Structure 1
Amino acid sequence: MSIVRRLGDPPKLRGSQTMETCPDIFELSDGTFAVMGTEATADLDSLLPPDAARADYERIVIISRETLLRAKRDIPDA
């Protein structure tokens, strides 16, 4: 598996000065997506709605609204 492309703008175009703590979204070679964000499992796990479940190996991460909105144009419809 490899990273095929970034979705949205690079962190520098989103205003990152240090490029050290920047959320990002990547499309992978197998068609899945990887999200890099702030780990928030402990804070949000108990707040998940009743119809949501998280496996032990899954984590909840937070990305900024701007990161997702800028990625929208690159997310395929199908």
Structure 2
Amino acid sequence: MRRIGSTPQQRGSATGQSCPDVFELDGGDYLVIGKIDSGNGVGGSIRASSFAGVSGASIGPDERAVIVPRDCIVTAARQIVGEDAGGHDGKHAYAAYSVIVDGLNYRGEPMPEWDDLPVKIRAAWGNAAMGVRNRALMQASDKIRDRLIVDGVDKATASHAAALIDPRDPKSLDSE
């Protein structure tokens, strides 16, 4: 089990006792510690109304609504998102770059392992990889659309078919 996000002390608790917290369990699930609503506030209202207006949401007999301060959830979410920064595409792009430069950075020093890179750098590699992938999809989409038009398919149908692999807004293809 490991803590996700900031500690209660980092969020202003003097003792760190009886404070909201978020943990990732060994199996990958999350444990949230929060205030159990006594029925006078949000949790009680939600239980009584079975999440009125929120499709498909309810609290089961073995579940409890807990209230967790926003800053606790926000710091936990930032850590979770940050750990996934770059994703597989960024990691593969970084590895391919490493092969081309013989594992050395621009200063001639060994490149760090992917997991040792700062979150911002991993996210940048992920964004760069996504940009390259999207550009390739856009080019392929344009070629498909143009080929279909040459083969006699009307422009609207060709654009619709090409949009199936195009990361751009489908409406932008109609104006071309």
Shorter-chain TM-score bucket reads: 0.7 to 0.9
Q: 2:52 aligns with which of 32, 46, 49?
A: 49
1:49 maps to amino acid: A
Q: 1:32 aligns with which of 16, 26, 29?
A: 29
Q: Relative to total residues, which structure has the larger helix share, 1 or 2? A: 2
Supply the distance in 2 between the matched residues of 1:32 and 1:41 (Cα, whole angstroms): 26
2:11 is aligned with 1:6: no
Percent identity of equivalent pairs: 36
Contact persistence 1:28–1:34 (CA under 8 A)? yes
Contact persistence 1:41–1:61 (CA under 8 A)? no
Q: Relative to total residues, which structure has the larger strand share, 1 or 2? A: 1
Report which of the two structures shows the higher radius of gyration computed on alpha carbons.
2
Supply the distance in 2 between the matched residues of 1:34 and 1:12 (Cα, whole angstroms): 19
| Aligned-residue offset at 1:52 | 1.1
Q: 1:13 to 1:31 in 2, by over 3 A?
A: same
Contact persistence 1:8–1:70 (CA under 8 A)? yes
Output the TM-score relative to the length of structure 2.
0.39
More relative contact order, 1 or 2 (CA 8 Å, 6+ apart)? 1
| Aligned-residue offset at 1:21 | 2.2
Supply the distance in 1 between the matched residues of 2:33 and 2:78 (Cα, whole angstroms): 18
Contact persistence 1:9–1:71 (CA under 8 A)? yes
- 1:20-43 CA distance string (max 9 Å, x none): 221000000111000000002632
Give me the CA root mean square deviation: 2.0
Equivalences, count: 75
Output the TM-score relative to the length of structure 1.
0.81
Stretches of structure 2 lacking an aligned partner (at least 5 in a row): 88-176
